[in-house]
Amino acid sequence: MDMHMMYDQLGISRAVYEYGETVLRDLKERFEAIDQVAEYNQAKVLAAMQSNRVNATHFAATTGYGYNDDGRDNLERVYADVFHTEAALVRPQITCGTHALAVALSANLLPGDELMSPVGAPYDTLEEVIGIRESKCSLKEYGVTYAQADLKADGSFDYDAIRAAINERTKLITIQRSKGYATRPSFSVTQIGELIAFCKSVKPDVKVMVDNCYGEFVETIEPSDVGADMVVGSLIKNPGGGLAPIGGYICGTKECVDRCAFRLSAPGLGQEVGANLGLMPALYQGLFLSPTVVSGALKGAIFAANIYEKLGYACVPNATESRHDIIQAVTLGSREAMVAFCKGIQAAAPVDSYVTPEPWAMPGYDSEVIMAAGAFIQGSSIELSADGPIRPPYAVYFQGGLTWLHAKTGILMSLQKMVEAGLVKL
Ligand SMILES: *Cc1c(COP(=O)(O)O)cnc(C)c1O
């Protein structure tokens, strides 16, 4: 079998292919460890589906109010079991991760309450939800204030600052697991558990929400296993397994999740309404595939870090660090390199492979942004994608891949484009 012949057909040269093989030879043990986590999480998801007796009736479509929607209600029990929580809200009516987080926050904070982040600034889109940047209907407009304790310079928790930031009005603490588009490290679930324990030792009745985006199934435990009252995320990232076409989830205590349901629909209605619109097969099957899909994305991230670090580019996380989410940042150092990298990711896509990504002035950003994504589900970032703002240090954020082999192809193609642009010599 001439493997390289197939890669050649995609436009990947022998030199690039062989460079990739050399790097891969040293990654066997790490890939085995990732497979172990996936195996554990696969069994966890399977057990939750079996104990909730998932059957064909749960895949039926409902419309209108969606009263007595067994498929939807059972999916929520499955999610609650996977995350080891009392309750879950998993809905196509939750439009994205930001929406899920906004529901969780606004449902559990009342006028006069304070929200506190012990891990520095939250994800960009939450700035408007909270009111750090002015927006209509922000928490700030409703009289909810916000406090923040920044991380120390080395990325660790500043416990003195956290203690000082917690006061009698502190009602909810928000912890973001993934670094998002920041350069700080992502936190392990164990670290998050230590942070939650500290916050609750300062104020026992405080509630903790974890923004779990990009973190699901990367480890064998989730933040809900270490004291979080709510874990929140998007179904077009990890837990949708690439099949969910829309949706978000909130898993947590019954007290918190009930409030989220009333906020999402209406007081009095809560979880009783919300038709599933025929999406149940994709949501169940996507969750079922998610541990494997996440493992492929992680292998891709590690492969990318090892390739690009060897070529002299700084990577966060670096080539050998342990992983707590599926995001890989590669500091490419120039506009040209960012463009070449993203062209490669785009050219390797199953969808829209023939389009060329260009930097553009995206609304809401203070510099040009480049994005590469050729996804079956629009904007899905569990599918192979890369993006970044065109400004120093010219870092590209790379994530996803529905299969490890596609992630591999995308990374090889990014390298191919870097070589063709004369930016890299192998
Ligand atoms: C993606 C993401 C969000 C927002 O999710 P959207 O689906 O893009 O609205 C929030 N927090 C983190 C850490 C994320 O990665």
Q: What is the dihedral of CA 55, 61, 64, 69, to 10 degrees?
A: 10
Q: Counting atoms of ligand 1 from 1, which one is nearest the CA of 381?
A: 1
Q: Counting atoms of ligand 1 from 1, which one is nearest the CA of 123?
A: 11
Contact 207, 108 (CB under 8 A): yes
For a pocket test of ligand 1, which of 94, 95, 117, 125 has the largest count of ligand atoms closer than 8 A to its C-beta? Answer: 125
Model's pTM, two decimal places?
0.96
For a pocket test of ligand 1, which of 128, 212, 237 has the largest count of ligand atoms closer than 8 A to its C-beta? Answer: 237
Question: Is residue 211 in contact with ligand 1, taking CB distance under 6 Å?
Answer: yes
Of 262, 155, 166, give the one whose Cα is nearest residue 208.
166
Evaluate the omega torsion of the peptide bond into residue 359 and state whether it is cis, within 30 degrees of 0: no
Cβ–Cβ contacts within 10 Å for residue 126, how many?
A: 25
Domains and CATH numbers, the chain: 3-42+292-420 (3.90.1150.60), 58-287 (3.40.640.10)
% of the chain surpassing 90 pLDDT: 95
Contact 17, 4 (CB under 8 A): yes
What are the average pLDDT values for consecutive 10-residue runs of the chain, which has 426 residues?
Answer: 91 97 97 98 98 98 97 98 98 97 98 98 93 95 98 96 98 95 88 98 98 98 98 98 98 98 97 98 98 98 98 95 95 96 97 95 79 94 94 93 98 98 95
Q: How far is CA 344 from the centre of its chain?
A: 22
The predicted-structure confidence for 25-40, as pLDDT tens digits, reads as follows: 999 999 999 999 999 9
Cβ–Cβ contacts within 10 Å for residue 241, how many?
A: 26
The predicted-structure confidence for 313-348, as pLDDT tens digits, reads as follows: 999 999 999 999 999 999 999 999 999 999 999 999
Q: Tell me the CA–centroid distance for residue 321 and ligand 1, in Å.
A: 23
Residue 278 structure tokens: 């025929």
Measure the N-to-C terminal CA separation of the chain; round to a whole number of Å.
Answer: 25
HSE-up of 124 (CA within 13 Å, CB side)?
8
Residue 377 DSSP code = S
Contact 92, 75 (CB under 8 A): no
Of 71, 125, 75, give the one whose Cα is nearest residue 100.
125
Query: Pairing mode, if any, of strands 248-252 and 87-91?
Result: antiparallel
